[in-house]
Amino acid sequence: MFPRVKGVTDNFFEMTYYSGIRKKIEGHLKRYNFFEIDIPMIEYVSLFERGLGYETDVVSKQMFIIQKKQHDSDNEKDLMCLRPEGTAGTMRAFLEQQEHLPEPCRVFSYGSMFRYERPQKGRLREFHQMNLETLGCSSVLYDAHMIKMLQVLFVEVLGIQDCILKINFLGQSEDRKKYCASLVSSLTPYQEKLCSLCQNRLTTNPLRILDCKSQDCQKICLIAPKLTTFFSETTQQEWKLLQETLEELSVTFMVDDHLVRGLDYYNKTVFEFVSANLGAQNTFCGGGRYDGLAQQLGSKTVVPALGCAIGMERLALILESSKDRLLVQSMPLLCIIPLSEQQNKLALHLADFLIAHGKCVELLLDHQKIKNKMKRASDLKAAYVLILGEDEQNNNTVTVKDMVTGKQEVILQTEVHTKI
């Protein structure tokens, strides 16, 4: 027996539940003119080094690097990895086909992401995300529109009552450069009291210290300056406009001065939806604006954009109590049982006939007693059992048993699709 790799999951029985969540989300997104795309799971490492930042945790220690074979190129630019997130790949794909795409371009994708880190509740090595991106949109009013769309999705469509929306504004790169210099200056005297990770961040990625989960680091950050005091007049106006618009749209939110994103490409708006039901890893949707990503990936023109990722495993944990409401309603199962080998081929033909008429069909062709076959049909949760014996074969009929009421009736084979 081979064990499952630690940090991944098998889903034999939960897929109708997960599919139900996906269908709810996808139906909601299509009302907002999002269309589905598919991007590869394998990308060049350099895409994430440039897009996410060399010093981010994801790039420095969490990527699944694909080991080179002897005949592969020695060029480090050819090094590949399993994607750790979806935004950089989406932007790469958009830039390759930009001339054929309208703007704003609203897209969503679903699939596996991979991060080599210690597995825990709500944090897996292979996890699934629904990524939403709006490409080619410069006004922060688009940000308000997306946040409103997400709140409607989570609260009204999916029925999550305990989620909290946190927002912050990171300003422009010049605002952050001035702020980071001041932040480093104020925290340096307390460097030895910071956790080991934040001691390194002090010189590589100081903004991330604000988001550290260590209580000691959080206490030290209370003395940190406010980013808003370093905003230019234009940035202040945008931040004010975003908050006013969210209030006008009846979006309930709280401003979190310490909310930052773990990836370098974010600017201006950042947000998170959190739930107390998830423990320490309580964010199930996070995102924001990333106007500089396209140029970081080599574009000669600016592509203002914003997006977010919904963690599907975490969302499924939150919705566990309302699972029955989200299960995909499957078609009634018709289980065909031939009484002997002489009726097996007739069973195959009847199955083809019913499937062609849109029915869901299972066949029990192995040689077993009828009692055992009926039990198997019950285990399969069949709605109806269609029995084919010698009499049915000679008369072109089928005996249909309703597995709920136990009622049986004989129906012509050519008419059975209209009767059940």
- Tell whether 249 and 148 lie within a shared domain: yes
**pLDDT band for position 16 (cuts 50, 70, 90):** confident
In a domain, 185, yes or no: no
Say how far apart CA 99 and CA 15 lie, in whole Å.
38
Q: Are residues 125 and 263 located together in one domain of the fold? A: yes
3-state helix, strand, coil in the chain (%, to 5): 45, 20, 35
Q: How confident is the model at residue 73 (pLDDT cuts 50, 70, 90)?
A: low
Q: Could you list the residue range(s) of the whole structural domain that residue 58 is in?
A: 15-172+232-325
Average pLDDT in the 44-48 region?
Answer: 90
What is d(CA 284, CA 25) in angstroms, rounded to the nearest whole number?
14
Tens digits of residue pLDDT in 404-418: 999 999 999 999 999
Q: Is 200 within the bounds of a domain?
A: no
Q: Is residue 54 over pLDDT 90?
A: no
**Domain at 358, CATH number:** 3.40.50.800
> In terms of domains, do 104 and 80 share one?
yes
- Identify residue 228 by its one-letter amino acid code: T
> How many domains is the chain built from?
2
Note the pLDDT of residue 356.
94
- Hey, what are 50's tokens? 């440039």
Higher pLDDT, 50 or 25: 25
Q: Whole-angstrom Cα distance, residue 56 to residue 251?
A: 31
Q: Which run of H or of E encompasses 90? A: helix 87-96
User: Which of 325, 342, 375 is the C-terminal boundary of a domain?
Assistant: 325
In a domain, 309, yes or no: yes
Q: Is residue 314 part of a domain?
A: yes
Using CA atoms, how far residue 403 sits from 337, 375, 379, 383, in Å, is: 13, 11, 11, 5
Letter string b/e over residues 276-287, b meaning 16 or more CB atoms within 10 A of that residue's CB:
ebbeeebbbbbb
Domain boundary among 325, 354, 387: 325
Assess if residue 166 is contained within a domain. Answer: yes
Indicate whether 341 belongs to any domain: yes
CB 202 within 8 Å of CB 184: yes
- Domain boundary residue among 325, 358, 392? 325
Of the two residues 283 and 78, the one the predictor is more confident about is 283
Same domain for 115 and 164, yes or no, is: yes
CATH assignment at residue 94: 3.30.930.10
User: Residue 55: its pLDDT value, please?
Assistant: 60
Q: By the 8 A CB rule, do 262 and 309 touch? A: no
In this structure, the answer to whether residues 99 and 164 fall within a common structural domain is yes
Q: Let me know whether 23 and 130 are in one domain.
A: yes
Say whether pLDDT at 140 is over 90. yes
pLDDT digits (tens, 9 = 90+) for 336-359: 999 999 999 999 999 999 999 999
Contact 172, 235 (CB under 8 A): yes
Helix (H, G, I), strand (E, B) or coil at 237: helix
**What average pLDDT does range 214-220 have in this prediction?**
86
Confidence (pLDDT) at 280: 67
User: Domain check: are 166 and 38 in the same one?
Assistant: yes
Q: How confident is the model at residue 56 (pLDDT cuts 50, 70, 90)?
A: low
| Cβ atoms of 158 and 21 closer than 8 Å | yes
Tell me the mean pLDDT in the region 50-60.
67
- Same domain, residue pair 248 and 389: no
Using the predicted structure, report yes or no on whether residue 281 has a pLDDT greater than 90. no
Q: What is the mean pLDDT of residues 172-200?
A: 86
pLDDT of the residue at 348 = 96
The chain-wide mean pLDDT, for the chain, equals 89
| Same domain (yes/no): 289, 140 | yes
Q: Where are the alpha helices (DSSP H) in 262-369?
A: 293-296, 312-318, 323-326, 344-356
The stretch 209-219 carries a mean pLDDT of: 85
**Does 46 score more than 70 pLDDT?**
yes
Q: Is a pLDDT exceeding 80 seen at residue 59?
A: no
pLDDT tens digit string along 151-179?
A: 999 999 999 988 999 999 998 888 888 88
Q: Quote the crossing angle between the two packed helices 233-248 and 140-151, to the nearest 10°.
A: 30
Q: Are residues 380 and 299 in the same domain?
A: no
Give residue 70's pLDDT.
66
Mean pLDDT of 264-277: 88
Residue 55 and residue 129 in one domain: yes
Asked if the model's pLDDT at residue 14 lies above 80, the reply is no
User: 149 and 278 share a domain?
Assistant: yes
- Can you give the pTM of this predicted structure? 0.84
User: Looking at the predicted structure, is the pLDDT value of residue 108 above 90?
Assistant: yes
